[in-house]
């Protein structure tokens, strides 16, 4: 009986709070290390990089990579929606209590997938010049 209460509380409260705390602590440690480097540079009279505290992405993604990730997400969510609908409509598959939730979940997943497909194709048209410029820049290097 106590386990029935503690497990959901742990999963819904303690786990998310711990994750947020760890991420915040890691960011704060990174800022503290950068601050120490900046203070040492000031003490030694060296040039200071003004972009040291800017959030520079460690692995910058190209526009084309971001669009392909959207396309990938669209395919996955659409296929999951179709799978949910098929699972709910096939009479031989017994899912139990979740049978009534499969149809709405399937339609929601398909709608999200269609939205991501629209976002992908719209972004592909709108960002065609940027994609070409990135590819030319990549080939010139």
Q: Are residues 46 and 85 in the same domain?
A: no
In a shared domain, residues 11 and 32: yes
Whether the pLDDT of residue 50 is over 80: the answer is no
Cα–Cα distance for residue pair 87/80, rounded to 1 Å: 10
**In angstroms, rounded to a whole number, what is the distance separating the alpha carbons of residues 70 and 117?**
8
Range of the domain at 84: 63-140
What confidence score (pLDDT) does residue 40 get? 86
Q: Domain check: are 3 and 48 in the same one?
A: yes
**DSSP line for 71-119:** HHHHHHHHHHHHHHHHHHH-TT---GGGHHHHHHHHHHHHHHHHHHHHH
CB burial of 63-88 (b: ≥16 within 10 Å; e: otherwise) equals bbeebeebbebbeebbebbeebbebb
Residue 29 is predicted with a pLDDT of: 93
| Same domain for 67 and 46 | no
Lowest mean pLDDT among 9-13, 53-57, 62-66, 116-120: 53-57
Domain shared by 32 and 68, yes or no: no
Q: How far apart are CA 48 and CA 123, in angstroms?
A: 38
Same structural domain, 70 and 91: yes
Residues 78 and 135 in one domain: yes
- What's the mean pLDDT when you consider all of the chain? 85
Q: Is the pLDDT of residue 13 over 80?
A: yes
Domain total of the chain: 2
pLDDT for the residue numbered 76: 96
Residues 68 and 118 placed together within one structural domain of the fold? yes
State the pLDDT confidence band at 110, using cuts at 50, 70 and 90: very high
Statement: residue 63 has pLDDT above 90: no
Q: Contacts for 83-89 with beta carbons within 8 Å, 24 or more apart? A: 84/109, 85/110
């Amino acid at each position: 009986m106590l386990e029935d209460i503690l497990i959901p509380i742990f999963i819904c409260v303690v786990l998310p709070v711990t994750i947020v705390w760890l991420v915040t602590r890691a960011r704060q440690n990174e800022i503290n290390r950068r601050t120490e480097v900046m203070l040492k540079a000031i003490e030694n009279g060296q040039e200071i990089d003004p972009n040291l505290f800017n959030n520079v992405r460690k692995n910058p993604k190209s526009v084309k990579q971001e669009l392909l990730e959207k396309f990938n997400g669209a395919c996955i969510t659409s296929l999951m929606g179709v799978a949910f609908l098929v699972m709910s409509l096939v009479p031989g598959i017994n899912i139990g209590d979740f049978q009534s939730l499969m149809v709405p979940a399937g339609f929601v997943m398909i709608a999200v997938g269609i939205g991501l497909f629209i976002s992908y194709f719209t972004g592909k048209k709108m960002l065609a010049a940027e994609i070409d410029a990135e590819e030319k820049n990549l080939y010139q290097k």
